[in-house]
């Protein structure tokens, strides 16, 4: 076994607790898209992180105009 390299896994297994309605909607979506629950959750988390990076919190300045929150 020393000569062989270990196959690197795409994901690390973990257990999470989800509300039933969220679990059910994710389960239905994973069946429709024919993907595993782990891949679907990882994709959703990645999309959420990308959305957070694109989102800018705005505030109203003295003139009533919107500007990015500093």
User: Which tens digit of pLDDT belongs to each residue from 18-66?
Assistant: 999 999 999 999 999 999 998 999 999 999 998 888 877 777 888 887 7
| Residue at 35 is within a domain | yes
Domain housing 58: 20-68
Query: Is residue 31 within 8 Å of residue 23, measured between CB atoms?
Result: no
The count of structural domains within the chain is: 1
Query: Is residue 58 within 8 Å of residue 68, measured between CB atoms?
Result: yes
pTM for the model? 0.62
- 60/66 Cα distance (integer angstroms): 5
| Residue at 62 is within a domain | yes
| Residue at 30 is within a domain | yes
Residue 68 neighbours by CB under 8 Å, 6+ apart: 56, 57, 58, 59
Spell out the SS3 assignment of 20-42: HHHHHHHHHHHHHHCCCHHHHHH
């Amino acid at each position: 076994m020393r000569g062989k390299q270990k196959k690197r896994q795409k994901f690390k297994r973990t257990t999470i607790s989800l509300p039933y309605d969220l679990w059910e909607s994710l389960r239905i979506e994973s069946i429709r898209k024919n993907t595993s629950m782990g891949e679907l959750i990882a994709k959703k988390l990645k999309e959420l992180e990308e959305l957070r990076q694109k989102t800018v919190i705005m505030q109203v300045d003295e003139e009533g105009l919107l500007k990015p929150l500093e």
